[in-house]
């Protein structure tokens, strides 16, 4: 893989297009999600190998609860299977596993496997793989506001001490850096309530390629495009 030196430190991905991939093949949406899970495996492995530090994947949004019950059940069971099946891969590749989102509202079986992966990988030093699960960015911001308000109420914090830095520390993962590159597959030009606070200065890269068809070569193209952009963070 031909890669530039200035790799994005943190890549975030909106994995879209599983349903369309399946429809194109006259398969059920479930088959699209299954194939999508295989893409997750390949892309995680690639990021670990090339030295990306953080990879954050939008795996299940709060809005996804509006889908048909059977599809939700399938996604939860796929997620649970994935968490168990990929454990060896996380161990072998020195990957740290984390999540963001309202994890306490997920099924108990899924929560158990999440906790196990977090525990087993806590001492690793390679890629941080972060799955956004039952995640919504506005909810995350509201949850942070609640935490800050509680601190003010307890007299641990004064209102004029609330800064961007303090606010960011109350988001779901205080150790998370802002994404440098946000990739969206499936062609839609929107951010769909994903990391609204954190993507303030991220470079956006949208591809019509559907997530099940997304290959390491596509990732490499996104990274090369990113590396050629000049990031100014509002300066000159
Ligand atoms: C979007 O496709 C995909 C999702 C609902 C979330 C991503 C889920 C996966 C990649 C599968 C499993 C993930 C893990 C981590 C095991 P869509 O159904 O919205 O596609 P469409 O826009 O074509 O309908």
CATH classification at residue 64: 3.40.1180.10
Enter the pTM of the model. Answer: 0.97
Cβ(37) – ligand 1 distance below 6 Å: yes
Helix axes 69-85, 29-50, angle to 10 degrees: 30
Number of domains in the chain: 1
Give tens-digit pLDDT for 42-71.
999 999 999 999 999 999 999 999 999 999
Atom of ligand 1 nearest to the CA of 78: 16
Atom number of ligand 1 nearest to Cα 23: 23
Is 233 part of any domain? no
Question: What are the catalytic residues?
Answer: 16, 64
Rounded Cα distance between 21 and 222, Å, is 21
64 lines ligand 1 (CB under 6 A): yes
Question: Is residue 41 included in any domain, yes or no?
Answer: yes
Print the domain residue range for 111.
10-135+178-227
Q: Is the beta carbon of 130 within 6 A of some atom in ligand 1?
A: no
Share the mean pLDDT of the chain.
Answer: 97
Rounded CA-CA distance 119/113 in Å is 10
Residue 63 is assigned to a structural domain of this protein? yes
Confidence of residue 205 (pLDDT cuts 50, 70, 90): very high
Is 203 in contact with 181 (CB distance < 8 Å)?
yes
- The reply to whether 85 falls in a domain is yes
Q: Which residue owns the Cα nearest ligand 1 atom 7?
A: 59
- How many whole angstroms from 193 Cα to the centroid of ligand 1? 15
Encode pLDDT of 137-166 as tens digits.
Answer: 999 999 999 999 999 999 999 999 999 999
């Amino acid at each position: 893989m031909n890669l530039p030196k200035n790799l994005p430190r943190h890549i975030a991905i909106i994995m879209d297009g599983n349903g369309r991939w399946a429809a194109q093949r006259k398969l059920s949406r479930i088959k699209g999600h299954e194939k999508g899970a295989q893409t997750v495996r390949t892309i995680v492995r690639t990021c670990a190998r090339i030295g990306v530090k953080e990879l954050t994947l939008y795996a299940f949004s709060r809005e996804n609860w509006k889908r048909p019950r059977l599809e939700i059940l399938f996604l939860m069971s796929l997620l649970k299977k994935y968490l168990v099946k990929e454990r060896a891969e996380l161990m072998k590749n020195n990957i740290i596993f984390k999540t963001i989102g309202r994890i306490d509202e997920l099924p108990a079986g899924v929560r158990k496997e999440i906790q196990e992966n977090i525990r087993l990988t806590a001492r690793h030093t390679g890629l941080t793989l972060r799955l956004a699960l039952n995640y919504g960015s506005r909810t995350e911001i509201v949850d942070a506001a609640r935490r800050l308000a509680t601190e003010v109420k307890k007299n641990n914090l004064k209102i004029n001490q609330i800064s961007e830095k303090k606010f960011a520390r109350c988001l779901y993962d205080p150790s998370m850096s802002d994404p440098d590159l946000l990739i969206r597959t499936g062609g839609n030009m929107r951010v769909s309530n994903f990391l609204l606070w954190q993507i303030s200065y991220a470079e956006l890269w949208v591809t019509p390629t559907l997530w099940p068809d997304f290959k390491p070569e596509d990732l490499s193209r996104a990274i090369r495009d990113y590396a050629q952009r000049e990031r100014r963070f509002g300066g000159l």
